[in-house]
Amino acid sequence: MAVKVRVVERPDDWAVRAFLPELGRGLWTVWRHFFRNLLTSKKSPRSWIATEEYPEERHPYPERFRGLHRLMTRDDGRVRCVACMCCPTICPAHCITVVAADTDDPNIEKYPEVFEIDELRCVACGYCVEYCPCDAIRMDTGVHVPVGGKRHQFILDKGKLMDPKGRSIAVQGGTLHAAGRGQAPSH
C-alpha cells in the first residue's frame, strides 16, 4: 500500500511569515467592535456587548447545577455515613478522604472519624452521591464553593459538610426537609 504525500508550498513573502496580514485583521476586528459598542447603547439590538453586570444582574443557574456537598444526619444528630469507603473509591479526582472508626452503637459498625473533601480537586461529577448506599452525601445545596485565599480553606471537613447552609436532616431514602430544594434523591 503506497502512502500519498501532499507537498504544501510555504509562502516566501516576509509579510506573510511575520503574520502581519493576520495581525491587521485581528486589530481591525477589535477596533470595529470597540467603536460599535461605544456608539450604540447596551439595549440596542445592534449592540455586541457581552459583559454581564455581575453583582446587579445575575445569570440564572441551570436546573442541573448541584452546588456544594453536604453530609446528611440521623435523627439523633450524628452523621449518616457508615464509612463504607464507596465515595473515596469511586471519586475520579481522589478528593475525598475518609478515616473510619468503630462506634459504640450496636446497629452501626463504623462511622467516619475524618471526612474531608478538597473542593479545589473536586470535579463535581456527582459519583459520590450516586454510589453512596446510605444516602449520606448529597450535592443539592445550590451554594458555590466559598471564596478563600489559602488552600486549606477549600478543604471542607465533617463539621462544615454537615451544616453548609443550615441544619439538613433527611429521611432515609425520602425527601429533603430543612435545607434542600424539596426534591427526592436521584438514586
For residue 71, the model assigns a pLDDT of: 92
Instruction: Report in angstroms the alpha-carbon separations of 183 from 2, 125, 139, 164, 179.
Output: 62, 19, 12, 18, 11
Q: Averaged over 4-29, what is the pLDDT? A: 85
Query: What's the pTM?
Result: 0.60
Determine, yes or no, domain membership for 65. Answer: no
* Amino acid found at 118: D
User: What CATH number is associated with residue 114?
Assistant: 3.30.70.3270
Determine, yes or no, domain membership for 155. Answer: yes
For residue 175, the model assigns a pLDDT of: 46
pLDDT tens sequence across 136-172: 999 887 778 878 889 999 999 998 898 755 444 444 4
How many folded domains does the chain comprise? Answer: 1
Determine, yes or no, domain membership for 99. Answer: yes
Determine, yes or no, domain membership for 1. Answer: no
Provide the pLDDT confidence category of residue 46 given band limits of 50, 70 and 90. low
If you count them, how many residues does the chain have?
A: 187
What cell was used for 135? 444516602
3-state class of 20 per DSSP? helix
Determine, yes or no, domain membership for 75. Answer: yes
E strand residue ranges, the chain: 70-71, 96-102, 110-118, 137-138, 155-156
